[in-house]
Amino acid sequence: MAFRPLRALILLPLLLALTSAAQAGRAPEIRKRAFQELNEGVAAYNRGEYAAAVEKLQAVTAVALNNFRAYLYLGQALTAARRFPEAVDALDVALDLEPDDLGAHVARASALLGQGDLDEAAAGYTRALGLRPDFSPALDGLGRVAEARGDDPKAVASYEQAIAANKGYPDPYLHLGDLYMRQNRLDEAVQLLREAVRVRPDYGPGLNRLASAYARLGLYNEAVATINRAIELEPGVAEHRATLGQIQLELGLLGQAEQSLQEAKARDPELPQVYEGLAEAARRRGEYPAAVAQVDKALTLPHLDDRAHDRLIERRTALQNEEASVARLEQAVAAGAASPEDLRALAAIEAGRSRWERATDLQGQSAPEGIERERLAYYALRANRFRDAHAIYGALDDAGRPDLAVNDGIALTGLGDHAAAEGRFRRALTLDEKFAPAQLYLGNALLRQGRAGEAADAYVTFLALDPSGQRAERVRRVLQRIAPDKAPPPPALPIAPTTPPAAPEPEKPS
């Protein structure tokens, strides 16, 4: 084997270091352990195991007094664990060691933003921009400050600047997507979040937000697949499991939702959405004291921002009011003394808890007429009692209202009579040719009859009527599959579409 002097030169210091470590005096041992713990801490941080990362990195910074990387990661891990004042301290040291490090400036500003110190956060981001005027994370940070100050136009401008400055940096897509979600601009939000995932397919926060957006759009299969991918990438991140729990709640899978939320809680006991989710699960079970207790736990969490605090207080009051109403109404029902209004009120509460069967029974007992009878049909439809629903809608006739005709069509779809359903959807369109849901369900009915070409036309018309609504994304996906030439550009998301043509959501009675 040839002797390579250069390699020997490179290996010599390493060999010396290893020899020193092997001799294991106290100082060499401390140095060796610190480097190991630094690597372990960074790895834990990257897996989203922030508490473990903090522990390891604090051990490093206790001995390695000038290790910039240890302080930077410690600050970021503390921020992720919402220990903001400690994070600021750690990042102060990081900046003391590397005063011109852009990442440290932004990380410190983000910790300040986390603790609500908006002025200092803005100053920090501006400092970073002083070092590099097009530094995307700093522009993104100024957007977050503006958003926290309630200045949405300024926030949007900053996020857009951040995206323009670095199209490969995912955070501004996420934050702008969140802002659009808040403004109910769902289609734009999903486009942005999908772009975030496209530029960084392995970025947990991007997958998390996209999963939430899919859930908002009713794309539950995609939502579950996306959040599971985030969990796979970052098994230690509590937020991902909390989001999975929320999706499962929306799907009515209470047991699974509670399990996911408990798993989130085990990873981070200070996450407000975990307690809100557990409160909702308890409410759905009718366990109001337990639900209120979960909200109370959330209210005692440190680092709770004002917006979350107000939301929780409102939730607590609503739960207590609902508990009182349910107690009174159940007593009246048990004693056979419930008035039709009592029965309807209890039915509405049960419907709000997704207990459609009971809601249908209670509403049926109330001898409903008019709008209340429509409500009964709706509950029956949601309870998959299609025959009952069709009977009521049929008897109501459509009264010239396209929504009733559509719901009757949905009931017929549930009974497997797609041809009859098609007829009802066409009837709705004769009543109002611009009634977008009728186009959507017509497309579904045609597709189920194997008439993909006609279905595609119906979907295209639907998209023209409702291009950015809740169902547009799902329709685009179906179109992409059945008629790619008519579909908009293929979605950039690297997760295969799995949802079959729209699961019908009946039109709610007004």
Residues that bind other proteins (CB under 8 A): 13, 16-17, 20, 23, 25-31, 34, 62-67, 93, 96-98, 119-120, 122-124, 126-127, 130
d(Cα 169, Cα 184) in Å, to the nearest integer?
24
Specify the residue, 108 or 418, whose C-beta has the smaller distance to other proteins.
Answer: 108
What is the smallest separation between the CB atom of 16 and other proteins, expressed in angstroms? Answer: 6
- In the structure encoding, which two tokens stand for residue 191, read together? 């486009």
- Cβ proximity to other proteins, 145 vs 238, nearer residue: 145
Backbone angles phi, psi at 287, to 5 degrees: -95, 80
Q: How far is the CB of 137 from other proteins (least distance, A)?
A: 16
User: CB of 428 within 8 A of CB of 438?
Assistant: yes
Smallest distance, other proteins to C-beta of residue 80, A: 23
The answer to whether the CB of 446 falls within 8 A of the CB of 422 is yes
Angle between helices 68-80 and 50-63 (to 10 degrees): 150
Is residue 396 within 8 Å of residue 370, measured between CB atoms?
A: no
Structural tokens at position 448? 């189920």
For 64, other C-beta atoms within 10 Å of its C-beta total 19
For residues 487, 493, 499, 500, the Cα torsion angle rounded to the nearest 10 degrees is 20
Rounded to whole angstroms, how far apart are CA atoms 352 and 350?
A: 5
Nearer to other proteins, 71 or 214 (CB): 71
Q: Cα–Cα distance between 476 and 463 in angstroms, integer? A: 8
In angstroms, what is the minimal distance from the CB of 273 to other proteins?
32
> What's the min distance (Å) between Cβ of 78 and other proteins?
17
User: Which is closer to other proteins, CB of 111 or CB of 495?
Assistant: 111
Cβ 78 vs Cβ 65: under 8 Å = no
The CA radius of gyration of the chain, in Å to the nearest whole number, is 28
Taking the complex as a whole, the smallest distance from the CB of residue 179 to other proteins amounts, in Å, to 21
User: Structure tokens of 346?
Assistant: 């209890």
CA angle 440, 443, 449 (to 5 degrees): 145
- Structure-token pair, residue 188: 């734009």
At closest approach, how far in Å is the CB of 69 from other proteins? Answer: 11
**Single-letter code of the amino acid located at 175:** H
What are the tokens at 254?
Answer: 């209470």
Whose Cβ is closer to other proteins: residue 62's or residue 313's?
Answer: 62
Nearest to 193 by CA among 505, 500, 473: 473
Nearer to other proteins (CB atom), residue 18 or residue 503: 18
CA–CA gap between residue 338 and residue 476 (Å, rounded): 48
Judged by CB, which is closer to other proteins: 65, or 419?
Answer: 65
Scan for tokens 């990195």, then name that residue: 57
Do 441 and 406 form a contact (C-beta atoms < 8 A)? yes
Residue 63 Cβ vs other proteins, minimum distance, rounded to whole Å: 5
> Burial level of 416, CB count in 10 A (0-12/13-18/19+)?
exposed
**Least Cβ distance, residue 167 to other proteins (angstroms):** 25
Nearer CB in complex with other proteins: 151/372: 151
Q: In terms of CB distance, is 122 or 389 closer to other proteins? A: 122
Q: What are phi and psi of 435, to 5 degrees?
A: -80, 100
Report the nearest approach of other proteins to the CB of residue 31 (Å). 6
CB of 148 to other proteins, least distance (A): 15
120 versus 323: smaller Cβ distance to other proteins: 120
Closest CB to other proteins among residues 120, 372 = 120
Question: What is the SS3 string spanning 185-232?
Answer: CHHHHHHHHHHHHHHCCCCHHHHHHHHHHHHHCCCHHHHHHHHHHHHH
Question: Which residue number, 29 or 305, has a Cβ lying nearer to other proteins?
Answer: 29
CB of 95 to other proteins, least distance (A): 10
